[in-house]
Structures are given as structure tokens and as C-alpha cells.
Structure 1
């Protein structure tokens, strides 16, 4: 064998030896690393096992504690139920008391509201007929006397005149703004009841009214209704009361009003028959002129008596107050 060939074989053996050493080192490294990983995983699994065991022990302790608390709660529940029953009764009694107090407060508020509404009224307005003709009405009518009585007694209230001299109740409703349909229903009823007989013009006719007469500047006032003397209600006091209500319904405050009643001029209905129906309809708001004076309603004495009766009624109903 030549020297050159021997040198090549020697180099090859050296290279193989070196490779074997490298492989041995690499294998050793892998084995060491694997061993360390297994040790680490073993420790981790051991810790988990310890934690689970501890958790089981804790769970058993918690379960036992819960059972003890449940027994204590059962014993306390009975006492709590008794206390709750007593508290419920006390609460009911308290609510009943509060309800009574609330009702009293609401009643007081309503009374206060009524006083406010009375104070808010801008004046007193008289509807109907003053029963005195011509210039005498400026001095002796109940409206003039009422204004003087109010002023003399310290009441700062203005009396507004919305009377219609010699007019029937149909014309008064028209002046107040009651609908034509409603007024016509009364006229139709009168014609049907007459059965062809001649009717007084106030039972079927409506007076021509000026713009000044139909303009309302009194809807926040306290109305005094004096109507029916000249007819327009078919001699039926119940219908007269209904027509009075039609006018009252045009006012803002429908709770404050006065109605004065006197028998009709033609004597078709007596004072007693009229008062029986109207006093039942209007109650404390009603004034019977027959109870106030024995004088004819067109006399000065009757006008004075009527004004005094209206002032007294305003005071009785607490509609007016002194400033």
C-alpha cells in the first residue's frame, strides 16, 4: 500500500472519530436535558396533587360550616317570622295613620285652593234683568246698591252689568254665547207644547244684540243670575233652571255663583212653585226674592233688599274678602 493511501485512511479515521465524539456529547446533552424536564414535570404534578388534596379538605370544611350555619338560620327564622309579623302590623297601622293625615292635608289644600279662586275673581257680574227702567236704574237698581254696599263694607270688588232690559231668557242665553243649536231646541220644544196656539214673543224670538252686548269681559267673575221675569222658559221652572245652568257653564269657575228667583211678570207660575224647584236645584246658592221682601220686585225697596241679600250670601259662601 502506498504512503499516500495510508495518509487518506488515517485522515478519514480521525474525522470519523471526531464525529463520534460530537454525537456522544450531543446524546449526553439530550439525556441531561430530558432528565431535568422530567424532574420539573414531576415536581409540578406533585404540587398539583397537593393543591387538590388541600382543596378537598377545604371543601369538606366549608361544607361542614355551611351545615352548621343552616341549622342556626333555621332556629333564627322562627324568631324573624314573629318579628316580621309584628312589623307588618305596625307598618299597616302607620300607613293607615299616614293615609288619614294625607286626607286631612288634601282637604286643607282644597280649602286653600277655594280661597285662592275666590281671591282670583276679578269682580261680580249680574245677569238677567234689573227690573227698573230708564235713568232710575243708575241710582236705585240692585246692582248700583250692591256696589255701594261692597265699597262701604271694605270690599274692593267691581260690579259689572250684563243685564238685558225687558229681555227673555232665550236672548240672555244668546248674549252669553250659548250655541244656536241649543237655543233652537228650546224654541222647538215651546212650539210643540203650544200645539198651534199663539206664543209670547219671548218664547220663540231672540232679540238683536250689539257687539258690545255679546262681548264677554266677565268670565272670571262671580255671576249673580237674575232671569225669568219676562219669560222665555215656557212657564216651566225646571226649564228655567236648565237655562240658568247654560249661562253658568260659560264661566271659568262654575262653583261660585248666586241665583236669585222671582215669579214671572205674567203670574203664570207662583213664587212657591218657582222656589221649590230652584232651591232644590241650586241649594245654598239660591235666594228667593219672596223670602227677602214683600214689595214688588220693581220697587226701590225690593232692589235695596235684593242687594243686601246678595251681599249677605256672598259673605256666607266666603266668596269675597277684604283687602
Structure 2
């Protein structure tokens, strides 16, 4: 009798355990299915989000490129509109009254007029002067100019120097007046010396003059070998091209004639016009 009771009790206990195991298993399966569904939904949402971001990025890229191109065009147009004209800084190689007919500045104004550019050309050049005088005329600080003079004297070691390496020309108030700050500078200097036969120093002096302008992104540098032949065109052009890049015009690349030749002055003006158009500084 007791054995039968024990057997019935065991059976009931086993039945309860089986029921509990079944309920637990069902709960685990339900939780697993729910979790898998949530993971799949999350993956799908992330995939759709990535597709949306990618599509949005692809749609924006052409628009951004178009915007940048339009802004660049507007900037060039704004630069042209705001420029009051051109100003020639540095050397005048044509002597005396002939400069009024044959100087590159005269040809430059003529070409501008003939091609429909309503831009005046200002004259901030000196005949037969060194770069020290030109920096002084531009308003470069006196201590900066004096620093060059001291360096030239020390390098000479007591030897006699050309006047352009240490001397500064007496300048009139009209010459030192800066009425050209809103003009595009064309800097052509160094033919008569003042830079200790060192192209890198000449580039630094050109930069000193450029820094006197409020807008320094629009300019041209024209280079030619010095009168005394102390530096050849190839050496000068190598330094200037590296320093100024697309802003530099080598006169030796335009003509084999000497810089002071009257025909060269016209060729130089033509080269300046082409470069101004190429860089977008002037446009019709």
C-alpha cells in the first residue's frame, strides 16, 4: 500500500516537473523569437538609415561642387569689380621722355583700352633706382630697409658697393602717397640692384611691397636679369617661380631681347595682359 502511495507521489512530482520544464522551454522560445525579431528590425532600420545617408550624401555632393564652383566664380567676378585698376611698381627701364611713349606701362594701358577693359594704370615706378628706394616709397618700415643696408655692408666686408645697395633716393610726397591700395599691383623691380645679387632676397623685398596692400591675393611679379649680369635669368627664374608660382612672369620666357629694349616693353605688356586674363583678374 505504501509502495503504491510512493509511486503515485513520484508520478505527480514528475508530472509537475515536466509541466514546469515545458513552461520554461516555451518561455525561452518565445523570448528568443522576440529577441531575433527585434535584432532583425534593428538591422533593417540601420540598413535603411545607411541607404538614406548615402543617398543624401550622393545628392549633396554635386550640389556642393556646383556651389563651390559658383562661389569661386563670384569671388573672381567680385575681385574684378572691386579692383579700381592696375598699378605698376618698381623699375622704369625706358629713359627720359621716351618712357611716355615706349614704356610697358603705356603699352599696358593701350592694350586694356583696345580690348574693352575700363581700367586705369597707375605709375609707381622709378628710373634708375634700386629696390631699397622702392620699398621706402611703398612705406615698408624704415628698420626693415635699414636691415638690408646693414646686411649688404657686412657682406661687402669693407669693399665699395654700388649706390643702389646702400642708398635711398630722395622721394617727393607725391611719390610716397599711397593712392593705389585698391589696385592690382604689377611688381617689376631689381634691374638696377639693391638686393645683394641674391634672388631670394629680391623675392623677400617684393613681398614687403606686396604686404603694403590690403588685398594680397591678386598680384603679378615680372622678373628679368639685373643690369650688371651678376645673376642669370635661369637662376633668377628658378627662385621666383618657386616663390610666386602662377603669379610670376619671366621676361626671358617672353623674349630674348634685353629688358630695356623698346620692343621688349611691348612684349612685356602683352604678357601681363595674358596673365591677368588667365588668372581671372580681368574679364570682359
TM interval, shorter chain, is 0.7 to 0.9
Residue 14 of structure 2: aligned partner: none
In 2 relative to 1, CA 103–183 (structure 1 residues): closer, same or farther, beyond 3 Å? farther
Provide the residue aligned with 1:265 in structure 2: 227
**Residues 1:235 and 1:75: Cα distance change in structure 2 (over 3 Å):** closer
Aligned length: 253
The 2-side partners of 1:279 and 1:91 are apart by 48
In structure 1, what is the Cα distance between the partners aligned to 2:74 and 2:46?
40
Displaced runs of 4+ in structure 1, greater than 6 A? 73-76
| Structure ranking higher on relative contact order (CA contacts 8 Å, 6+ apart) | 2
Q: Partner of 2:203 in structure 1?
A: 241
For residue 216 of structure 2, give the secondary structure of its aligned residue in structure 1: coil
Q: CA deviation at 1:172?
A: 0.6
**RMSD, aligned α-carbons:** 2.1
* 8 A contact 1:241–1:278 mirrored in 2: yes
Unmatched runs of 5 consecutive residues or more in structure 1: 1-70
> Are positions 1:109 and 2:71 aligned together?
yes
Q: Pick from 219, 223, 232 the counterpart of residue 185 of structure 2.
A: 223
- Where do 5+ consecutive residues of structure 2 fail to align? 1-30
In the other structure, the counterpart of 1:92 is: 53
1:61-72 equivalence runs, <5 A: none
Whole-angstrom distance in 2 between the partners of 1:193 and 1:102: 58
Within 2, Cα distance between the matches of 1:282 and 1:267?
A: 22
| Equivalent residue in structure 1 for 2:171, among 181, 204, 209 | 209
CA distance in 2, matches of 1:140, 1:212: 23
Residue pair 2:76, 2:280 contacting (<8 A) in 1 also: no
CA deviations on 1:246-287 (whole Å, 9 max, x unpaired) are 111122321211111111111111112111211222122211
- Measured against aligned partners, the alpha-carbon deviations of 1:89-118 in whole angstroms (never above 9, x if no partner) come to 124314533553464123431332122112
Q: Do the aligned partners of residues 102 and 176 (structure 1) sit closer, same or farther apart at CA in structure 2, a change above 3 Å counting?
A: farther
Query: Where do 1:98-247 residues align within 5 Å?
Result: 100-101=61-62, 103-104=64-65, 105-247=67-209
Q: Residue deviations 1:35-80, cap 9 Å, x none? A: xxxxxxxxxxxxxxxxxxxxxxxxxxxxxxxxxxxx9x97874454
Matched residues in 2 for 1:79 and 1:290: separation?
Answer: 72
Separation in structure 1 between the aligned mates of residue 56 and residue 149 of structure 2, nearest angstrom: 57
1:237 Cα deviation from its structure 2 partner: 0.5
| TM-score scaled by length of structure 1 | 0.73
Matched, 1:312 2:266: no
